């Protein structure tokens, strides 16, 4: 009742059915008229007074506030349904976000489906163990756990991460340099914000990871594509290009998306160049745990003698995407800057999942799960490679045996995007390689995730892919004997590779 | 053993004890020499080959890679302890993050302590109920819960939020317009990124919320302080200033930090002005549920007929800070832009807490808790007001009875920062009002949170505050009879008010 009276009078004032200075009936007479208690009427009038719609003149009664600007009160309904779609002019949106929006979405962006590159083997995640740890930590939750956490993250987890990185990734750091973030995308975003001014040049692998490109675009950086080959980033080509980057973004362990391992020579050359021009190096070590030919490649960070490397890793790939926990290892000189940037973008990462993950690592579940997944992913990769060789012999598998996806090239000029769009209709979430290029001479190919797909799904998927690809291939190779159709570059990529 | 051999040889190569092209002993002879199995040696050599330190010449043996650039290999240890502190030149940090860093930290930034403005009554949070819901949801977790969530957030929660906002806050929206974010800081950050170019003018309340200022600073916006009075933002003063803002950031329900409620007149004037100059209005409704004189004030968003208002609210204040869940209600025209900005900064918000919060709302715990807290906070506020009047009669309490903190002014010229620094040494986390000003004529005063402090803590705290304040007051009023010391403005504020 209170609400009805309040809203009725407010609407009447806003619609100019009641005009400024108009006197309202007394609450007593209104109560009598409506045959209701006076209390809700008094409350509604008091609320309208508090909000400035009414004014009370002592001894004289209640009036519509004389301060209400007549011109602004219009006889049209407040917020009619669909009002939000009626904005007549195009909405102003910042240039940096427009640049993000200018790319096209592909159906491969969606979660789920065979060959999704962002999906670890969730069917084998020890969900019962995890749930038990969540439940235990929730039950033991103390009041202090409700507070904001530390901006750098829970110390317990930072210690576990530092130990793990030292022994598994040859990363040289103390827990004070480890910042827990909500995913590798947040780490890339913070790095771009801290390290680059709008217009600052940044080296970006060509082809490279779209998540990095999005972070650089939002930061307004000048993205300078530097080619990669089978030794990783071609540092000499970058230097020859004449730019002096403020920051260099690389994926040395398993280049995204072509799969090369950066050679020792290139690593030393990159660190030397970075030292000479005082550039930062951002090492995105997104899936380095999974290598099938040899052991994980030692990090670039561990070779750095000059504190120029920002090292990013994530638990998303190793555990599950919904976890939203990753980490950045920072040079000591950047710790304060990252804290400030995190404070301005997002407050500390939630405590509960950090507690659960610390336990999960401490009790040995993490190491056990990674070992198990390495075997499983190797098996799935083997099945995928065999299926491609059998069904799609015109495709060439690129990169080292590592990670949870592989890139395979198509004959030049084949429109990979068209194939991926068609495949998506059958639930195959294959991403086009050409989307990973900034410049306009992309290589055609497909990115096929195997981590989250079973051997049966992989085999059926590749058979279906052959049915989709063959007609396109026949059409394009006959139509273009001599003339190659140009694949259009895209300004936006594939969405969520990792977290 | 594998690791020792791998690291020993790697270090020898990097330190130039082994030179490029130098031949290594065969694995067999090395195994004999070291009296160990050949397997770890073979593995270590294979790893060093994969990483590019060694090369194998068929039939001839294993050599240090000839490609390693001699110049880059230096006889100094890799990553000695403390290497990260040895960067000889100052580190390059972006201008926007430097601007964040240029402010000084105050001890009131820390979590905990009496009078902390960012702290709800955690001692009364139904932690057992919450933990039970966490445990239940974790136990019932299915594989799909491990996937990435939706960028907009869990639909179940968005529906609950839309219903709640319609009935409690007169917000007009559908669940499609509600985006779940990790805190109101993330909402402010996304708004600044989407709505403003570097250099775009943005109106900012003077005094205003430092979290908003941080988000605007990081976006490189031109911050235009617009004064507030007891009707909230002085729109006419802003217009008279001559700027045409792209976006206007306001706290209409309970102005931060002075506590005014924006009047109906000003609301209509603001919306009209925004419509005329096509500016966006960002309504930060951070603690509107708690009002003690009347009912919660209807939102500005509900009055908007032109889809110009971005409405931000948070669960942090109502439940607990570690929750990290808040929401933005978006005009339909901005939904895609916010999704893209979120994708570039952070991936979807974790699913589990969203499930738990949906249950918590659906089962009525949320509404019950808010009602209980309203009574409790009113009581605590009453105790604080009485204690101030009794112990610190020279202070004037500002603003409406609402929220979980209050601002009280000090006599002009009293250095509020000094008082707060001293208070912090006794565990009183009082924030100086002068820190909330952008320009250099701040009003001196104190921000005292009561939500998270008991009546006993409040009374003891105010007694202690009198002991701290009186000498400062005596010194400054006697020393400056006629001459008033200038309070220095700060470029950085108070840290975490809310989430």
Residues of A in contact with B293 (CB under 8 A): 50
CA distance B418 to chain A (A): 23
What is the helix, strand, coil percentage profile of chain A, to 5?
45, 15, 40
| C-alpha to C-alpha distance for A63 and A23, rounded to whole angstroms | 4
Closest CA–CA distance from residue B467 to any residue of chain A (Å): 29
Contacts of A268 in chain B (CB under 8 A): 68-69, 72-73
Flag if B125 and A143 touch (Cβ within 8 Å): yes
Contact B499, B183 (CB under 8 A): yes
Name which of B45, B75, B84 to mutate to probe chain A: the one with the most chain A Cβ atoms within 10 A of its Cβ.
B84
The answer to whether A323 touches A353, Cβ cutoff 8 Å, is yes
Beta strands across the sheet bearing B326-329: B178-181, B326-329, B309-314, B280-284, B247-250, B201-206, B222-229, B232-233
d(CA A414, nearest CA chain B) in Å: 29
pLDDT surpasses 70 at B282 = yes
Interface A-B: count of C-beta contacts within 8 A: 384
Residue given tokens 């009082």 in the structure block: B430
CA A484 distance to own-chain centroid: 35
Of all residues in chain B, the one with the smallest CA distance to A169 is B3
* Mean pLDDT computed over every residue of chain B: 87
Partner-chain contact B147 A122, CB within 8 Å: yes
Q: How many other β-carbons are positioned within 10 Å of the β-carbon of residue B19?
A: 13
Task: In whole angstroms, give the CA distance from residue A338 to residue B73.
Answer: 31
Q: How far apart are CA B159 and CA B306, in angstroms?
A: 23
CA distance A359 to chain B (A): 16
With H, G, I as helix, E, B as strand and everything else as coil, classify residue A227.
strand
When pLDDT is averaged across residues B28-39 and rounded to a whole number, the result is 88
**Mean pLDDT, residues B165-192:** 94
Query: Hey, which residues does B329 pair with through a beta bridge?
Result: B178, B311
pLDDT for residue B14: 85
- At B90 the pLDDT is 67
* Cβ-nearest to A97 among B92, B145, B194: B194
pLDDT in the model for residue A478: 65
- CA–CA distance, A285 with A273 (Å, rounded to integer): 20
Contact B248, B206 (CB under 8 A): no
CB atoms within 10 A of CB B192: 27
Which token pair is A11? 């609407």
Per-residue confidence band for B85, with pLDDT thresholds at 50, 70 and 90: very low
> What average pLDDT does the segment B316-337 reach?
92
Nearest CA in chain A to B91: A333
Name the residue among B458, B430, B436, B444 with its Cα closest to residue B110: B430
Minimal C-alpha gap between A142 and chain B (Å):
8
Q: What is the pTM of this model?
A: 0.89
Q: Exposed, middle or buried, A115 (CB in 10 Å: 0-12/13-18/19+)?
A: buried
pLDDT at B480: 53
pLDDT (0 to 100) of residue B104: 57
Residues B86 and B96: beta-carbon distance below 8 Å: no
Alpha helices (H) in B87-144, listed in sequence order? 95-101, 127-139
Greater confidence (B172 vs B478) lies with: B172
pLDDT given at position A90? 67
For residue B46, what is the nearest residue in chain A, using CA coordinates? A294
**Alpha carbon distance B102, B154 (integer Å):** 38
Q: Are A215 and A499 in contact (CB under 8 A)?
A: no
Measured CA distances, A393 to A252, A466, B499 (Å): 29, 10, 54
Q: What angle do CA A66, A70, A73 make, to 5 degrees?
A: 115
**Token couple for A447:** 């990115």
Q: Which of B78, B141, B146 has the most A C-beta neighbours within 10 Å, making it the best mutation to test the interface with A? A: B146
Question: Which is it for the CA torsion A144, A150, A154, A156, positive or negative?
Answer: negative
At A449-485, the pLDDT tens digits run 999 999 999 999 999 999 999 999 888 766 555 444 4
pLDDT in tens, chain A (499 residues): 788 888 888 888 888 888 888 888 888 888 888 888 888 888 888 889 888 899 888 888 899 988 887 777 764 444 444 444 444 456 789 999 999 988 756 777 777 789 998 888 988 899 889 989 998 888 887 766 787 778 899 999 999 999 999 988 889 999 999 999 999 999 999 999 999 999 999 999 999 999 999 999 999 999 999 999 999 999 999 999 999 999 999 999 999 999 999 999 999 999 999 999 999 999 999 988 888 877 888 899 999 989 999 999 999 888 988 888 999 999 999 999 999 999 999 878 888 899 999 999 999 999 999 999 999 999 999 999 999 999 999 999 999 999 999 999 999 889 999 999 999 999 999 999 999 999 887 899 999 999 999 999 999 999 999 999 999 988 876 655 544 444 444 434 343 343 3
pLDDT for B203-235, tens place per residue?
999 999 999 999 999 999 999 999 999 999 999
Nearest to B87 among A78, A145, A306 (CB): A306
Picking from A236, A270, A278, A291, the residue whose alpha carbon sits closest to that of residue A404 is A291
Chain centroid, CA B194 distance in Å: 18
Closest CA in chain A for residue B304 = A79
Facing A68 at nearest CB: one of B68, B264, B322: B264
In angstroms, how far is the first alpha carbon of chain B from the final one? 49
Q: Do B147 and A265 touch (CB under 8 A)?
A: no
Provide the pLDDT for residue B478. 65
Asked if A302's CB is within 8 angstroms of B78's CB, the reply is yes
Contact flag B293-A50 (C-beta cutoff 8 Å): yes
The Cβ of residue B368 has, within 10 Å, a number of other Cβ atoms equal to 13
Pick A214's closest partner by Cβ from B101, B138, B344: B344
Share of chain B above pLDDT 90, in %: 59
The CA dihedral of B41, B42, B47, B53, to the nearest 10 degrees, is 80
Helix, coil or strand: residue A212:
helix
């Amino acid at each position: 009742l209170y609400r009805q009276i309040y809203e009725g009078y407010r609407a009447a004032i806003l619609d100019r059915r009641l005009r400024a200075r108009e006197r309202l009936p007394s609450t007593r007479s209104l109560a009598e008229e409506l045959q209701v208690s006076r209390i809700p009427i008094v409350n509604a009038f008091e609320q309208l007074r508090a909000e400035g719609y009414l004014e009370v003149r002592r001894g004289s009664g209640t009036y519509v506030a004389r301060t209400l600007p007549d011109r602004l009160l219009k006889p049209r309904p407040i917020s009619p349904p669909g009002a939000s779609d009626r904005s007549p002019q195009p909405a102003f949106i910042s240039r940096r976000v427009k640049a993000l929006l200018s790319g096209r979405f592909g159906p491969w962006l969606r979660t789920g489906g065979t060959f999704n590159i962002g999906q670890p083997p969730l069917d084998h995640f020890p969900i019962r163990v995890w749930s038990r740890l969540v439940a235990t930590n929730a039950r033991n939750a103390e009041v202090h756990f409700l507070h904001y956490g530390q901006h750098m993250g829970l110390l317990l987890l930072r210690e576990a991460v530092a130990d793990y990185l030292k022994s598994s990734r040859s990363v040289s750091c103390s827990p004070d340099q480890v910042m827990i973030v909500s995913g590798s995308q947040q780490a890339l975003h913070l790095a771009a914000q801290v390290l680059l001014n709008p217009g600052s040049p940044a080296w970006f692998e060509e082809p490279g990871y779209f998540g990095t490109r999005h972070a650089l675009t939002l930061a307004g950086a000048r993205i300078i594509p530097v080619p990669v080959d089978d030794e990783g980033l071609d540092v000499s080509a970058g230097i020859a290009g004449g730019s002096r980057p403020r920051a260099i973004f690389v994926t040395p362990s398993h280049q995204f998306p072509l799969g090369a391992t950066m050679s020792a020579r290139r690593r030393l050359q990159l660190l030397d160049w970075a030292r000479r021009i005082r550039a930062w190096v951002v090492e995105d070590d997104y899936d380095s745990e999974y290598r099938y030919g040899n052991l994980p490649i030692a990090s670039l960070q561990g070779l750095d003698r000059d504190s120029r490397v920002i090292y990013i890793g994530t638990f998303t790939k190793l555990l599950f995407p919904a976890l939203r926990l990753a980490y950045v290892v920072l040079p000591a000189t950047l710790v304060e800057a990252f804290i400030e940037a995190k404070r301005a973008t997002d407050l500390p990462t939630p405590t509960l999942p950090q507690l659960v993950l610390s336990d999960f690592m401490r009790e040995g579940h993490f190491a056990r799960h990674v070992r198990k997944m390495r075997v499983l992913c190797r098996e799935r990769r083997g099945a995928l490679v065999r299926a491609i060789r059998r069904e799609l012999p015109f495709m060439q598998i690129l990169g080292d045996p590592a990670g949870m996806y592989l890139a395979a090239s198509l004959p030049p000029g084949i429109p990979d995007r068209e194939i991926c769009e068609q495949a998506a209709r059958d639930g195959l979430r294959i991403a086009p390689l050409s989307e990973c290029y900034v410049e306009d001479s992309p290589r055609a190919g497909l990115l096929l995730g195997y981590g989250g797909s079973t051997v049966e799904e992989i085999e059926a998927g590749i058979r279906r892919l052959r049915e989709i690809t063959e007609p396109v291939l026949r059409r394009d190779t006959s139509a273009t004997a001599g003339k190659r159709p140009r694949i259009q570059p895209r300004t936006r990529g594939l969405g969520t590779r990792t977290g």
